[in-house]
Amino acid sequence: MSSESGLIDRLGGPLVVFGIIGLIVGGALVPYAWGISTDADGRVAVIEVHGAITADTAAAAMEDLREARQNGSIQAVVLDVNSRGGLASVSEQLYLAVKRTSQQMPVTVAVTGSALSGGYYTSIPADSIYVTPASTVGSVGVRATLPPEGAPDNQITTGPDKATTGTRSDVRRRVEALRRAFVGSVMAERDLNLSAEELSYAKVYSGRRGVELGLADGIGGLGAAIDRATDQADLSDYETVRMESPTPSTLSQIGLNGSEAASEHGTDIDMTRYFMLHGRIDALTTADPIEVKANGTQ
């Protein structure tokens, strides 16, 4: 004990020793203290929904939404939408994912180009949709390609609809069912100055006209959407985290993912596809140009 006292005394006494220890411990805690004093109240996730809505691109967006819901530091979501839609089934999945997120935290949309067809379907669960005068919204409709009629060549099937998925009347009814779901969802989510019948024309509206009709809430860009989301989340100090959508392939741009593209070469016999897409389906014109639409303009 006497030797220990001697060591402390040689170092300058107990006060100096404990002071040095305190300095070391305090220095180690500096980063934490700095973080506490300077960290934002929360984060806003800016999730891109760009390009054709395919299984690939939608999977990335839905994963981002899931991350936003599960990450406690993310307290609001802003969707950066610039999409003319894509596959109907995937558009519905994306709609449900956004709706689920909006039940948990503020979600706003900034239409940075087009929010058409499936792209608009994705946007409607948001608390607010911001557009610019030149951006476009709408095209609320469904379309489907039809398989050729008749017995399939070079195949043996167990039923007449095995290779074609159904009769054309079946496809027509399914398109109508999808239209009802799409139009009904828009009518339920938005307070429109537009009847369901008028909406079913599937017109494309400019941003300003979209605000007048209730398809959007205000004029503004990404900043306005972020401001609105942070206001709703009561965040005065926040940081944004951008989650970019994957670069779509050429095939994705026209509404197909890789696996579906393979079907064009004969590996997939299910030739009937349903789209919530504005624009041409070029890849399918050589397979079958016949199309059923659930609206009057596409």
Interface with another protein (CB under 8 A): 69-70, 72, 95-96, 99-100, 103-104, 167-169, 172-173, 175-177, 180-181, 183-185, 187-188, 197, 200-201, 292-296
SS3 state of residue 46: strand
Half-sphere exposure of 1 (CA within 13 A, CB side): 0
- Indicate the residue among 252 and 298 with the shorter CB distance to another protein: 298
User: At its nearest, how many Å lie between another protein and the CB of residue 188?
Assistant: 5
Smallest separation (angstroms) from another protein to the CB of 69: 6
Contacts with 152 (C-beta within 8 Å, 6 or more apart), sequence order: 163, 164, 269
Rg (CA), the chain: 27
CB of residue 147 vs another protein: minimum separation in angstroms? 13
CA distances from 169 to 95, 146, 233, 274 (A): 27, 10, 48, 14
Best CA proximity match to 196, nearest among 292, 94, 295 = 295
Which residues are paired to 74 by β-bridges? 43
Beta strands in 117-261 (DSSP E): 128-131, 136-138, 143-145, 204-206, 218-219, 238-243
Nearer to another protein, 154 or 169 (CB): 169
DSSP 124-143: TTSSEEEE-TT-EEE----E
Integer Cα distance of 279 and 11 in angstroms = 81
109 or 142: whose CB is closer to another protein? 142
C-beta atoms surrounding 8 within 10 Å: 14
Closest to another protein by CB, 69 vs 208, is: 69
CB of 74 to another protein, least distance (A): 13
Token digits of residue 21: 């220890």
User: Of the two residues 223 and 296, which places its CB atom closer to another protein in the complex?
Assistant: 296
Shortest reach from residue 142's CB to another protein, in Å:
11
Nearer to another protein, 69 or 261 (CB): 69
Smallest distance, another protein to C-beta of residue 16, A: 26
Closest CB to another protein among 192 and 219? 192
Q: Which is nearer to another protein, 180 or 208 (CB)?
A: 180
Q: Give the DSSP letter string of 249-273.
A: PHHHHTT--HHHHHHTTTS------
For the chain, how far is it from start to end, CA to CA, in angstroms? 93
Least separation in angstroms between residue 57's CB and another protein is 21
Beta strand 128-131 with 204-206 is: unpaired
Q: How far is the CB of 296 from another protein (least distance, A)?
A: 6
Question: What is the rounded distance in angstroms from the CA atom of residue 102 to the CA atom of residue 117?
Answer: 20
